Structure formats: C-alpha cells, structure tokens
Structure 1
Amino acid sequence: MVQGETDPAMQHPTGLSSRPTRVEVLVTAAEAYPVLERAFLGARREIWASFRIFDLSTRLRSPEAQAVGETWFDLIVHTLRRGVDIRMVLTDFDPIARPSLHRGTWKAVRQFMGAAEAAGPGAGRLRITAAMHSAVTGVLPRTVFWPQIAARLRAIVTWLNGSESHARSALLRDMPGLRDWLVSPKTGPLRARLWGVPVLYPATHHQKLAVFDRRLLSIGGLDLDERRWDTPEHNRPGAETWHDVQLMVEGPIVAEAQAHLETFLDVVAGRADPPPQRKLLRTVSRRRSASWVRFGPEELLHEIYDAHLMLAARAERLIYLETQYFRDTRLARALAQLGRERPSLSLILILPAAPEEVAFGGFAGLDARFGEYLQARSLRLLEDGFGSRLFVGGAAQPRRKARRGDGPQAAGPEGSRGPETADEHCVPEARGRDRLKGAPIVYIHSKVSVFDDKAAIVSSANLNGRSMRWDTEAGLLLDDPAQVVALRERIMRHWLPRDPEPALLDPARAIGAWRNLALSNARQPPDRRRGFLLPYDLDAAERLGRSIPGVPEEMV
C-alpha cells in the first residue's frame, strides 16, 4: 500500500476538502480476487457490499481461502460461521430486456440463502437483497416500443419452451419478474401474455464495492464470477480475457462508502437524501414522481461526471483514460473544447476493440449498434479537438493464437446461452471484431481516469451517458500526487513492453511514444509485437454503428 499526503488545493465537486487514504491497486482478477478473499477471511464483525454480479460458484484462488473450501459458497459459509454479519445488495435487472442477468441475480440469491442455511444456528446474520432500480420508463415510450417489447417476450417464451419441462421449471424459479407476463397452461407450451404494456426498468445499480468492519474498502469496476477471471498476461482465448482495475483502500473514504451503502437504496427510492461525501464520487438517480413521456430516471447526483469535467479543466499536459465505453457526447464535446483551447494538452484513451457481445458473439442488436454510433461520434469529436494530440488505443495479445481455454465463453455474460440473442442475427459488420490486427483481443472493462499528476478517478462508471447520469455508480477520487503517479505508471505499464522507454511513461512525451509503439506493433506479426498496444479501429465502429432517433444516449 502507498501512504500519501493530500493536496489542500484539490476539492471534491461538493466543495469539501479531501483527506489522505491508503490505496492498493489491483489489476485483473488474478490480483483482485485473492485480496477480496482475504478481506472476507479477515472480517470480524460485519461486511456491507453492493455488486452487479456475485456468483458463489466462482472458484477460490488464494491459499488461505482454499483452506476453507473450493468456491465462494464455502467462503461465505465459513464467514457466517465465524459470526460475521453480511449485508449484500445484488443488482436485479429488467426481466424482459435482460432475462439472463435477471435469472443470474436470483440464482445468486438462492446461493446466498443456501450458504446461510449451511452455516447453521448461531452464525452471523445474512441480509441479501435483489435490488431493482426504482426508475421506470414512461407509458408513452413503452407504448411506442411495444412491438420490440412483444418480440422480446416471444423470444423469451420460445427459448423457455425449448427446454425440457423440469429444466423450464428450474429456469422460471429464478425469473420471478416474468411470471406476470407468461401464460402457463396445464398442458402445452408457455405463451406470452401480450395484453397490457410491461413496466420497463431503464436504470440499474452498476457499482461494485464492499466495506469490511468499517475499516477496509474494495471499490472499482470488478464483479465476481468465472467470466471475469483473467491474469495480467491475458494468455487465454479472447472471449475469456477481462482487464479490470479494483482498489483496496483504508482511511476516511471507508466511512463515506459505508454511509453510501447504508443509504443508497433509500435515496434511489426517494425516501432519503444522499449523505454528503468528500472523496467518494457517485452517480445516483431515482424514479420520477410523475412523467409518462420520459425514458429514464430523475438525475440526482452526477459527481463522477462533474469530477471529470473539473479535473480535465485543470489538466495541462496529459489526460489518460481507460474505459469499457466512451459514448457520452457531452463529455466528448467538453474534452474537445479543452483540446482546442490548450495546445499543450494531450489525451490517451484506451478502449476494447469492440463491445463484448459483438466481439465474441457476432451479435449486433439495436443497443450495440446505437452504442457504436455514439462511440464513433464521440471519438470524431475528440479528433476535431485534439488532432495529433489524441491517441485512441485498443489491446490485443502478442500472439496469433491464444492457448485453448477451459473457462466460460462469452457472447457475453449477459446471456450467450439465454434468450437475449434469440432474436438477433450475426451481421457482416460484426465479423472479425474478436481480433485486432490479426491477434485475439484483450477485453477491457476498467474505468480509470488520470489527470496529469494531480488527480485520478477509479470507479465502476464507464464514460457513457448511462454511467454518468442514470445508473448507480461509485468511485474514488485520488488527489495525492504520489498516489496518482504510482497509479498512472502501474496502469500504463500494463500495456507496454516489459522495459518501456522513458518517453512512454513521461506525460510530456507519452502521446507520440504511444502512437509510435502502436503503429509499430500494427506493422509487425502478433508474435513480434512489444506489449499489447495497437491503434483502435474507428472505421469498424462506424461501419456497425446506427443512429436511433428519439432514443436518449443514456440508454446505452
């Protein structure tokens, strides 16, 4: 861990001054999962947590955790038996738009309840909540999109009817949100109930954080399941790669995270006001009191977005961004304007070569195509503002073929074997997006933003409208220069050759050095490349992208 001092000039968007913290940077699940396991093992009284995905069939990796069992189910049983209370919020999902994720949430709830039962009498208390965001889409847009909703319902029914009767019953057990929209005759197949317009839930809880005994915080972009397991070498099939960043933190920030975990469900439901914070950055929205014409929620807090604008405005040399999506045209315009006004400022942006479902499934639904349209548009805005002072990179393995995999394939974890892809088709524009310049891609899911040596943000939020304004997100503002530099070098070194040239890590020279390295790698066969870095293929995104008039950017 790194101890840092606080720059008194740096302020959180709330106007409150920040205080020092101790931070451990964890890159990929190979580093983060063992540390998370040890945090559960070390907890003495209570654990509060909120995750999008938390699968208890995930294998344990640390020797200490393996001493108590094979999977996270065993670790939860062990933790409860030691008398530790666990309060876990799992994100629930729209059962029609995201049926596989909805099913995964309720399967996880069953796992947790089974662990509590296995822990026996006298164990710690378990409070497990499957939390749907309170916001609902207005009647007018639901009516306009009723044909698409009905088609999705029929696809779900077709998928369910393709299972044997006993398997179908097991599937429906974990899909409670669908019960009101299915007709289950005593004999014969299921049917969709196509009268009435289903409620749609446009926002989710996307945060990934846990607090242990009110003294230790895990926060960042990484959920828990086998799909997300990867190592810093990324030597596995592209569909099994997963680059992410998580922080383990001690200090005053932990109390802020604890307060957020204790209150955010009431805040989102409109029963409470959000507590003031200093270094914890949030996106929080809630259900509108009355609006039949709106797609999304009422925006309440957009501190992560505000912090990006504030810190970018203070940057003088280099802004470094890693994100799963760069689709927020409002943020892109603001950054582009800074690029025009500040000729000394450069921007490095690292993205996955393609959305997960496109790269590894070849599927391109309306959401993926709209997302690619927004991302391509946002990148063109950056090009106009920064010119040659912009580098947009992707990542691929320095090998032509990855080793054979033994993990789950992805199309993606959002339902490669579920009904999400039943009404979608492979399109020519999606072909080959699992490779970049002839090599298997590294799928990037990290959410890291660094502004000179002054400040950095690590969070659960992508740089898209959904994360900036709709979904529940949480992240950490780092403002100690030593911590910021250490984080930036750690994150940048991951993509670079083992012994990078000094220019690659120098904010004043990095833009040219990164571009030259990426172009050099692109000219070489995969096994002769230095590091993972390659140019991002913007043309491929533009070929796939499609505008959808009338749909807000925040939908994707």
Structure 2
Amino acid sequence: MTPKSLITADESLPALERLIASAQTELLMSFPALDPNAPLCEQALRERGLETWADLIALVARRGVRIQMLIADFDPQFASASHRKAWAAASGFADVAQGDTQILCAPHTHRAGAFWNLFMGRSLRRAIRAIKADDSTALTPVQRRVLSTGPELRPALVRQKFAIADGHSSVVGGVDIEHHQTMPDDDVSAPTELRHDLSVLIEDADYCGALRSHFAECWNAAIDAGLKSLAAHPTRFDTAKKPQSRADLRLVRTMSQPAKGFAQLGPKPVVRDHETNVLRIVEQARRYLYIETQFLRHGPVIDALCAAAAAVPELQVVIVLPAASAQIHPASEAGWNTRHGHALQVKAVDKLRASFGKRIAFVSPKHTATHQESKPSIGSGVLICDDRLAMVGSFNLNGRSMLWDSEVSVLVKDPGFAADLLSRLAAKWIGDTAYDPRLAVTWDTAAGLNDPGATIAPYAHKDAKQLARKARLLPDALF
C-alpha cells in the first residue's frame, strides 16, 4: 500500500487513534509528548463512549494486547516542567494499565561528563534550589534522586514519534498527543496551521519490521540503564534478527550511545542515517528542494546546500521555519544555549541567502487575527526533492537531530507521493495559486503580499540576530 501523508492534526490524530484501536496482539509506541488526558478526535471512538487517550489505551489493554510505551523523559534540572509532565503522563497511563502493559519514562541513556557539572555549576545550583523550594509531593523519583546524589546532565533526547500495531501498520512523524489539541467539534474556527502535524501512515511489513527492530534497541537500552516500568514488568526484545526496510520505503534513523569521559558532553553517534540521506539528497537535487524544519543549524547540511547552489544554477529551494519570535521565549531570558543556537541559525540563513539569491525562499507559519497568542510551529521534518522522493519524520536540520537525539523518519522514493505531498503542503501554506510551488518566488510572493489564502509570512530573524551578539561558543551539535 502506498504511504498516506497526513498534513494536519485533524488528519494525523484520528489516523493514529484508529491505528491504536486496531491493534490485536502488539502495540509499540514512542513519543516525547503523550498525554493520557488528551481528548480523542476519532468520532467513531467517541461514539463508543471513549473520551481520552487513557480510555483508548485501557480499551486496547483489556483485549489482551501487549502494549509497550516509551515516553521520552527530559532533563530533571533545566527542563523540570517537561520532566514532570512526562512522569505525570506515564503515571496517568499506568493508572489505567491492565494486563501486559509496560510503560517506561525514558531519558536518553547518556550523561555528560563531570566537567560539565563544574562548568555549569552556578546554573545547576540555581536549578537545584528551585527544585528544593517546590512542594515535595510534586517531585518525581528522578528529582528526589538528584537532590540526594547530585545533578544528572542529559544533553541528548529521545525525540522520535511513532506507533506500530501488530508489526505491519505504523504512523511516523511529528504528531504530538497533548491535552490542548483541539477536537474537531470544539472550535471549528481554529485555523489548520495551528494543528500542522505532518505524519505518514505506512502499512508495509518490511518498513514496520525494521521500525519494530529500532524500537526494540531503544527499549532494551532503557532496561539496561536500569529503568523500571510504571506498570507491568518490562520484558526485553530478542534483537538477534535485524529486519531491513525496502529501498523505496526506507527507515531513516539517528541513534547514539553513552560515551564516557571527564569532559565528554554528548553521546557517541552510532547511526547517522538522517545526515547521510540529507546530504545525498541535496547533492542529487536538480530542480527543487522543499524543506520544513524547526531548526536550520547543521554545518555540513548548510555547506552542502551552498555547494548545490553553485553546482546547479537552476536549483530552487523553499524552507519553512518557525519565526524567531516563536522560538525565543522572553520569560527564559534567552539563555546561552538559546543565544548560541540562534547565532548558528542566523549564520546559516545569511549564508544560504547569499548563495541562492532569489532562488531561495524562507517563510514561517503566520499568526492569525483570532489566534495571536498561539505559536504556530513545525512539528516534523520534511524534505521533498524534484518530485522524486520525500522524507518525513521527527528530524530537524541541527546537530542534535543529525548526531545525538533518537530520531525516526520514512524516506519514500515515489514520484506520485512526493508530488502529491508538495501540492498538499503548498495548498495549505499558500492557498490556491496558479503559480508553480516549486519556485521560490511563488512562496516569497504569497508570504510578502499577506495573501488572504496564505498561512505563511516572511521568515524574520532580527531578534535572533540581536541575541547572537551575546552567544557563547559551544559544541554545535548541542543545538
């Protein structure tokens, strides 16, 4: 079956819920945002009396399906709110778990070397004081351990987003399951760009077999790191066999392992499929590249794009990025990591504009008059090349995604899929147009004229430029 693109949460969430509900023997899930209180969007499930994701998981568990949920954990000091949210989610699902339901709240297994505890001592002490000042009942087991044994710096993340039912059906991409997601009947005026959540529905035994093998590696690594299930006892996978996906429907991964060393900051990259494939696609591009990414910061990718600009004078590039104001949170006072990250992005954007000139367009999701307080964002990575292939997944074009974080995507080599995906995204972002969406000028014009049919605006990074002046020089892969 040809993969099916799902370009908004209105499409991806019901499809994911149907996939979960269809599981008969095995359900595997790995998400960084998975809220048991999130309302269901699939009308057929709601008509059966199910209201939340906790209800859905409980229903599947009652059928005797083996469920293994890998909920990504976050740094317990510097990302305390996200860390507690992950533990609350895992606990919420554990409360309704039945039968063989196994739930791991899993950070990346790498810890930074002791030097970084010293280097970041002042910030860590401030974070620890904040944790101590909190209500003790709000602390997670990890935060209690940190207060007892000392800080745990975990610079890498488990960012992958996918679910597999019965080893032959999966949804892969940028979908997040959170309580604030709008249900179809709740707010019919809500613009679709606020729910831009691109995923791919894949019903293919080869791809799903390879993806299941990847999940098994992540799951076993979490158990080896000493993590305990919040529900049924976690059981290891047999990873002796390594199923492979097809060349025209390929599993793309980023994986890294813990690395030891006093001054070691990041983990050791062991699978760099995203970097390899992105560089190859850019090198082979001849007509156009369409890119959606939350971050644009990885030096080798920027250099490859600049080389392509010189080697292929006809090459057109469209890049959809969140506006700088949507990435910088004033409440955080834009710390050194934010400053350095945006310094890299400013440098990348300026370098690409100089290389491509009018052959490149940078655009951003646009706020709407009725939803000004929202922050339109890019929930998944997208790369389309020459109506020839498309890659969709959790990846971003930054060092983290290319080297450190756990990421998963699908690379579809199918002209029909690639052309249809570009057409659907163009219709979503720039509305009905008689002009070619493969041309940068089409996007620049739609964004610059504030066309009523467009949900994009010109990409602005003036704020990031101001922050960049105060950036510290740190390893680029951290950002």
TM-score normalised by structure 1 residue count:
0.77
Code of the aligned partner of 2:408:
A
Q: SS of the residue aligned with 1:55?
A: coil
Offset at residue 382 of structure 1 (A) = 1.0
1:537 corresponds in structure 2 to: 460
Q: Which has the larger radius of gyration?
A: 1
Cα distance change of structure 1 residues 457 and 98 upon mapping to structure 2, 3 Å threshold: same
Using the alignment, how far apart are the partners of 1:465 and 1:227 within structure 2? Answer: 30
Code of the aligned partner of 2:371:
A
Q: SS of the residue aligned with 1:494?
A: helix
Q: Which residue of 282, 287, 293 maps to 2:263?
A: 293
Greater mean alpha carbon deviation, residues 259-268 or residues 215-224 = 259-268
2:211 corresponds in structure 1 to: 257
Q: Which residue of 179, 200, 220 maps to 1:226?
A: 179
Using the alignment, how far apart are the partners of 2:398 and 2:66 within structure 1? Answer: 35
Using the alignment, how far apart are the partners of 2:131 and 2:240 within structure 1? Answer: 38
Code of the aligned partner of 1:400:
A
1:519 corresponds in structure 2 to: 448
Offset at residue 395 of structure 1 (A) = 2.1
1:296-340 deviations in Å (ceiling 9; x for gaps): 001111101110000111110100001111121221122112112
1:61 corresponds in structure 2 to: 41
Offset at residue 472 of structure 1 (A) = 0.3
1:445 aligns with 2:410: no
The answer to whether the 8 A contact 1:68-1:78 is kept is no
Amino-acid identity (%): 29
- Unaligned stretches of 5+ residues in structure 2: 226-235
Using the alignment, how far apart are the partners of 1:82 and 1:446 within structure 2? Answer: 32
Cα distance change of structure 1 residues 230 and 220 upon mapping to structure 2, 3 Å threshold: farther
Code of the aligned partner of 1:170:
T
Q: Which residue of 100, 120, 123 maps to 1:145?
A: 120
Q: Which residue of 294, 305, 309 maps to 2:279?
A: 309
Q: SS of the residue aligned with 2:429?
A: coil
Q: Which residue of 322, 328, 344 maps to 2:292?
A: 322
Offset at residue 363 of structure 1 (A) = 4.6
The answer to whether the 8 A contact 1:372-1:546 is kept is no
Code of the aligned partner of 2:61:
L
1:50 corresponds in structure 2 to: 30
Write the mapping of 1:75-114 to structure 2, written as runs, cut at 5 A. 75-114=56-95
1:383 aligns with 2:353: yes
Write the mapping of 1:339-488 to structure 2, written as runs, cut at 5 A. 339-354=309-324, 356=326, 358=328, 363-397=333-367, 399-402=368-371, 442-488=376-422
Q: Which residue of 114, 117, 142 maps to 1:177?
A: 142
Q: SS of the residue aligned with 2:430?
A: coil
Code of the aligned partner of 1:504:
D
1:63-118 deviations in Å (ceiling 9; x for gaps): 221113211111111111122111111111221121112111211121121111xx
2:230 corresponds in structure 1 to: none
Q: SS of the residue aligned with 1:476?
A: strand
1:281 aligns with 2:246: no
The answer to whether the 8 A contact 1:47-1:85 is kept is yes
2:107 corresponds in structure 1 to: 132
1:416-456 deviations in Å (ceiling 9; x for gaps): xxxxxxxxxxxxxxxxxx7xxxxx76322231111111211
Cα distance change of structure 1 residues 86 and 276 upon mapping to structure 2, 3 Å threshold: closer
Code of the aligned partner of 2:121:
W
Q: Which residue of 131, 144, 149 maps to 1:156?
A: 131
Greater mean alpha carbon deviation, residues 260-269 or residues 39-48 = 260-269
Using the alignment, how far apart are the partners of 2:66 and 2:322 within structure 1? Answer: 38
1:336-376 deviations in Å (ceiling 9; x for gaps): 12112211111100011136463685752322222221111
The answer to whether the 8 A contact 1:142-1:197 is kept is no
Q: SS of the residue aligned with 2:445?
A: helix
Code of the aligned partner of 2:440:
I
Number of residues of Structure 1 aligned to a counterpart in Structure 2: 458
- Unaligned stretches of 5+ residues in structure 1: 4-21, 161-167, 183-192, 404-433, 435-439, 522-527
The answer to whether the 8 A contact 1:29-1:230 is kept is no
1:219-263 deviations in Å (ceiling 9; x for gaps): 0011211245488x995499x934220111111211111111112
Q: SS of the residue aligned with 1:202?
A: coil
The answer to whether the 8 A contact 1:320-1:450 is kept is yes
The answer to whether the 8 A contact 2:161-2:173 is kept is yes
Code of the aligned partner of 1:106:
W
Cα distance change of structure 1 residues 109 and 553 upon mapping to structure 2, 3 Å threshold: same
Code of the aligned partner of 1:453:
D
Offset at residue 465 of structure 1 (A) = 0.7
Q: SS of the residue aligned with 1:241?
A: helix
Write the mapping of 1:8-19 to structure 2, written as runs, cut at 5 A. none
1:208 corresponds in structure 2 to: 161
Code of the aligned partner of 2:57:
I
Q: SS of the residue aligned with 2:436?
A: helix
